[in-house]
Structure 1
Amino acid sequence: MNTRRPTILDVARAAGVSKSTVSLVVRGSPTVKEDTAKQVREAMAATGYVYNRAAANLRKSSVGLIGLVINDLRNPFFTEFATSVQMALSAQGYATVISNSDEDGALQAQMVSSMIEHGVSAFIISPAYGQEAETFDQIARAGIPCLQVLRQVDPRGDLFPFATFDFARGGLLATQHLIEQGARNIAFVGGLEDRAVTTERMSGYLEALIGTGVQPTSFHGRATRAFGAEIAEKISRETPEIDAAVCFNDQVALGLLSGFARLGRRVGEDFRIVGFDDIEECNQVWPRLSSVDCDIAQFGRDAAAALLDWVETGQRPPALRRAPVSLAARETSLGIDPEGTSS
């Protein structure tokens, strides 16, 4: 004899809806259409599901819970962001549920659904690409505050405000710096070509080349070390006249650096590199990596403060906020003198 109590998943399957929709119905949310709500109630009766209101009230009376969904926690840039957000929220008495979507839009939507079911008060999402509606429409239906950061995949800034860095300015600073260092054939390396964040970072690079006589060259691909190392070999084999690169991020730049090291090409002399994000490792490798400095720790604290202001006072953040960037110039672009320091 099966004595297992029916769960919200059983109801969702019977009604043909998501877990979050069932949760909204049992909580009496007015955002669910009456026909759908009726369908869910009938499924509850058919499965014998009983809503545990006492447990739900206990969850509501507990410390505020914030959902933090990150597209790639393997990347130190996003890890540092998540850490700074979590610490800032903790300082204000909020708990954080952190999840890694691993650049999988379907997994992201599933995680968001589960977090809604468990009663999060708000979301901060650095989103994955793909199946964007499945993620953000359910947040809109639930009426939960949600801040997009670093990437904007849903254009509804009135519902999902977007905070990022001035990436175009960063691309401009990096390219101008390489030109000042004497580079004459500068490539842009990394980033998927059809992504807005790639276009934005590359726009500053293209702006800096106007009037210089330098023809733009780009190598697009996944923003990984493996791709950077692959392009180091490709440049050396096919386009050795290229003498510098602005990289989509530091992961690509570090791969480019190691790739040239294996080939015996001297970075800082034969080839100059500027990365993007200025993760901690930039200052630890040799030669030290020049990079566009995005103060991700402060950015995380600011994102947490903006979200909590929204949750606690109803003050919605602006539809778009861009944090400033600067250039951290080191040996990979400045060069190395015979004593082993920047020239």
Structure 2
Amino acid sequence: MANNERRPTIVDVARKAGVSKSTVSLVLQNSPLVKEATREQVRAAMNDMGYVYNRAAAKLRNANPDLIGLVINDLRNPFFSEFATSLQMALSSRGYAAVIANTDENSKLQTDMVGAMIEHGVAALIISPAYGDDAATFDAIERAGIPAMQVLRNVDPRTDLFPFAAPDYVSGSRAATEHLLAGGAKRIAFVGGLDGRGVTRERLSGYLDILKGRGIEPLVLTGSASRTFGRQMAGILANEHPDVDAVVCFNDQVALGLLSGCAEIGRTVGSDLKIVGFDDIEEVAHSWPALSSVHCDIAGFGRSIAETVVAWLEVGTVPPREHRADVSLVVRQSSSGKH
């Protein structure tokens, strides 16, 4: 190799071999998790490129027994950022450092971030996964043999390998719907959440169960879990569904947008239209009117996940395949009518 030529890197080898960086790293560590055919493919690429493995540097990179990877689908959303913050602080109190990545709902970026964390030797992974082609992400973790939990969203069915924990979304939407019916609502809509996603189905199912039991026809208006969508829906509900007098929202972002939209068109929330959000992020207690919401205690949930993963690492206590944390309904002015 000429002096002015760039030395090939692990990324170059991965590209030439058609595998991930984490797979190349596992081959370099002589991991038994890599299939022999893949191992030969990677070694052939190394030989062709003249790749030289710096084992001393690799040992330094991989010596991170107290480092835990935290991969979050959307840190712009206060629900997820509050979870990540409480989890990171709880891990810190137990002597662990967290490296945090925001995947911005991009499954390809998620796979890249997880691969990088594996390469740098994280002891465990906690993932609130993006929706999309998630197989590559979890297959890489399986090959690496690293403890990993799915939280808030369940996208990989192998919960024996990747245990799942989340708030009890179904109970939350049931409680919200029952509360609105008890308050006199005659026609309740469910608004927000992208159709077909697991978390949307869960948050919707409790609402559907209660209405079915009462013989009431549901009205489901799915869409982006955003304030923009919620604000747009205020006008649509008023113009196209004037009989709707109450709404269960997919999350607080949709509900806050709906509050703004109602103010814009002059519809009084709490009397003309009752609204319940979901998640109970900090902001909703300070909106006007204050927003009723399903309280998921996301900060407490983050702390419990930290304890679970630490117990897995330190004493070998494997988490249950699925865990649902209790939720509760916090009633405020948006559904009580009391301003």
Percent identity among equivalent residues? 63
Decide whether the 8 Å contact of 1:188 with 1:219 is kept in 2: yes
Quick one: which amino acid aligns to residue 234 of structure 1?
I
1:33 corresponding residue in structure 2 = 35
Task: Name the residue aligned to 2:258.
Answer: 256
In structure 2, the residue matched to 1:66 is 68
CA distance in 2, matches of 1:221, 1:64: 40
State the SS of the aligned residue for 2:319.
coil
* 2:318 equivalent among 316, 319, 326: 316
Q: Which residue of 1 aligns with 2:235?
A: 233
Equivalent pair of 2:254/2:277 in contact (CA under 8 Å): yes
Q: In the alignment, does 2:301 pair up with 1:302?
A: no
Q: Which amino acid aligns with 1:320?
A: E
Indicate whether 1:150 and 2:152 are aligned.
Answer: yes
8 Å CA contact 2:110, 2:137 repeated in 1: yes
Q: Over residues 181-227 of structure 1, what are the superposed CA-to-partner deviations in whole Å (9 max), with x where a residue is unaligned? A: 11111000111121121111111112222343432111001111111
Aligned match for 1:328, one of 319, 330, 335: 330
Q: Which moved more, 1:305-314 or 1:163-172?
A: 305-314
Aligned to 1:242, the other structure's residue is in SS state: coil
Q: Does 1:165 align with 2:167?
A: yes
Q: Do the aligned residues in 1 keep the contact of 2:159 with 2:321 (CA within 8 Å)?
A: yes
Matched AA of 2:185: A
Structure 1 segment 15-26 matched on structure 2, within 5 A: 15-26=17-28
Query: Shift of residue 311 of structure 1?
Result: 1.8
CA distance in 1, matches of 2:18, 2:198: 35
Letter in 1 for 2:336: L
| 1:100-156 Cα deviation digits (max 9, x unpaired) | 111111111111111111111111000011111111111111111110001100000
Paired position in structure 2 for 1:290: 292
Gaps of 5+ in 2: none
Deviations along 1:47-82, one digit per CA (max 9) or x if unpaired, are 222222222222344451111111111110000000
CA contact (8 A) 1:268 1:333 kept: yes
- 1:132 paired to 2:131: no
Q: Report deviation, 1:21.
A: 0.8
Cα distance, 1:16 vs structure 2: 2.1
Partners in 2 of 1:288 and 1:302 — Cα distance? Answer: 28
Give the secondary structure class of the aligned counterpart of 2:220.
strand
2:64–2:120: 8 Å Cα contact kept in structure 1? no
Amino acid at match of 1:209: L
Q: How does 1:102-121 map to 2 (within 5 A)?
A: 102-121=104-123
Q: 1:45 Cα deviation (Å)?
A: 2.4
Q: Which residue of 1 aligns with 2:14?
A: 12
Structure 2 match to 1:186: 188
Find 1:208's aligned residue among 210, 217, 225.
210
Q: 2: distance between equivalents of 1:131 and 1:210?
A: 34
Matched, 1:85 2:87: yes
With normalisation by structure 2, the TM-score equals: 0.96
Q: Residues 103 and 62 (structure 1 numbering): CA distance in 2 closer, same or farther, change over 3 Å?
A: closer
C-alpha separation between the residues in 2 aligned to 1:271 and 1:247? 12
Partners in 2 of 1:146 and 1:85 — Cα distance? Answer: 15
SS in 1 for 2:44: helix
TM-fit CA distance, 1:239: 0.9
**CA separation in 1, counterparts of 2:62 and 2:227?**
44
* Aligned 8 A contact 1:63 1:93 in 2: no
Q: Give me the TM-score of the superposition, normalised by structure 1.
A: 0.95
Aligned-partner residue type, residue 19 of structure 1: K
Matches of 1:272 and 1:24, distance apart in 2:
55
- Does the CA contact (< 8 Å) of 2:65 and 2:122 recur in 1? no
In structure 2, what is the equivalent of residue 277 of structure 1? 279
Question: Are the counterparts in 2 of residues 290 and 332 from structure 1 also a CA contact under 8 Å?
Answer: yes
Give the partner amino acid of 2:132. Answer: G
The separation in 2 between residues aligned to 1:121 and 1:142, in whole angstroms, is 11
In 2, the alpha carbon distance for the partners of 1:314 and 1:2 equals 50
With over 3 angstroms needed to count, the CA separation of the structure-2 counterparts of 1:115 and 1:287, relative to structure 1, is: same
Q: Distance in 1 between matches of 2:235 and 2:298?
A: 31
Distance across 2 between alignment mates of 1:73 and 1:88: 18
| Paired AA for residue 275 in structure 1 | G
- Residue pair 1:63, 1:95 contacting (<8 A) in 2 also: no
How many angstroms apart in 2 are the aligned matches of 1:60 and 1:111?
16
State the alpha-carbon separation in 2 of the partners of residues 53 and 215 from structure 1: 65
Tell me, what secondary structure is at the counterpart of 2:214? Answer: coil
- The CA deviation at 1:169 is 0.5
Q: Partner of 1:210: helix, strand, or coil?
A: helix
Cα 1:61–1:112 shift into 2, 3 Å: closer
SS of the aligned residue for 1:318 comes to coil
What SS does structure 1 have at the residue aligned with 2:31? Answer: coil
Residue type of the alignment partner of 1:45: N
